[in-house]
Amino acid sequence: MTEADLVDLVLAEQERPAWTAAQFAEELYHPAGWQLVFCQGEPGRLVGYICCRSVAGEGEILKIAVVVQCRGQGIGSLLLQTALSRMAAEGTGRCYLEVRDSNSIARNLYEKFGFRQIGLRKGYYNSPREDAVVYKVNIPRAGQGKESRFPQPGAFGI
Ligand SMILES: CC(C)(COP(=O)(O)OP(=O)(O)OC[C@H]1O[C@@H](n2cnc3c(N)ncnc32)[C@H](O)[C@@H]1OP(=O)(O)O)[C@@H](O)C(=O)NCCC(=O)NCCS
């Protein structure tokens, strides 16, 4: 993700409340932040993204989204798998995230990648008010023969 993506990111942002260009830009320059985008077609149109942070062996997924028309095609899985592969490669041992209790699609995605619920933050979200489910996954170190859960991006031809 770069500054050149900011306009497309805001156009692609369909969550409520949506992130503004300023929020994406802040993440872009956060010292622990890194992001991946998925582009489709020629010239590439940004259709998905994931915002992550990693520091001192701990990773966090802040946000993942795919535009509505492109969901259900494996793009979210590819973004998450690529992010976890990168964390494995850099030696990040654990990854955390928070998700709305009612977001069963995202929860299915996270659980598919081994995330397990470790907590609940009561009333964490506003508009509408809702609990946040806290998830964690342990990430096997790259090179320890357990990479099959998080294959390297090359396995997907990107
Ligand atoms: C969550 C999201 C990123 C998934 O992206 P996607 O490209 O559609 O995901 P995939 O096609 O890779 O599907 C991944 C998994 O999600 C789950 N999933 C996807 N669509 C689903 C549906 N309609 N119903 C139930 N589960 C679903 C499944 O577990 C699926 O794995 P499977 O295909 O092996 O069964 C997308 O739905 C999205 O952008 N949602 C809005 C933003 C959001 O809620 N982000 C998470 C909080 S930050």
Give the end-to-end CA distance of the chain in Å, rounded to a whole number.
Answer: 15
pLDDT at 155: 41
Residue 138, SS3 per DSSP: strand
In which domain, by residue range, is 84 found? 3-143
For ligand 1, say whether the CB of 66 is within 6 Å of any of its atoms: yes
**CA-based diameter of the chain, in Å?**
44
Which CATH number goes with the domain that contains 113? Answer: 3.40.630.30
73 lines ligand 1 (CB under 6 A): yes
Residue 118 lies in a domain: yes
158 within some domain:
no
| Catalytic residue flag (residue 98) | yes
In a domain, 133, yes or no: yes
Per-residue pLDDT of the chain (158 residues; tens, 9 = 90+): 888 888 888 888 877 778 899 999 999 999 999 999 999 988 889 999 999 999 999 999 999 999 999 999 999 999 999 999 999 999 999 999 999 999 999 999 999 999 999 999 999 999 899 999 999 999 988 766 554 455 544 443 33
pLDDT digits (tens, 9 = 90+) for 58-90: 999 999 999 999 999 999 999 999 999 999 999
| Tally of domains in the chain | 1
Does 114 reside within a domain?
yes
Q: Is residue 87 part of a domain?
A: yes
Tell me, yes or no, if 110 is annotated catalytic: yes
Task: Flag whether 91 is in a domain.
Answer: yes
72: left (phi over 0), alpha (psi -120 to 50) or beta: left
Please check whether residue 154 lies inside any domain of the structure.
Answer: no
Residue 54's pLDDT is 97
Spot the catalytic one: 98, 111, 130, 147. 98
Distance 128 CA to ligand 1 centre (A): 21
| Residue 153 located in a structural domain | no
Residue 8 has what pLDDT?
Answer: 85
CB-CB contact of 7 with 25 (8 Å): no
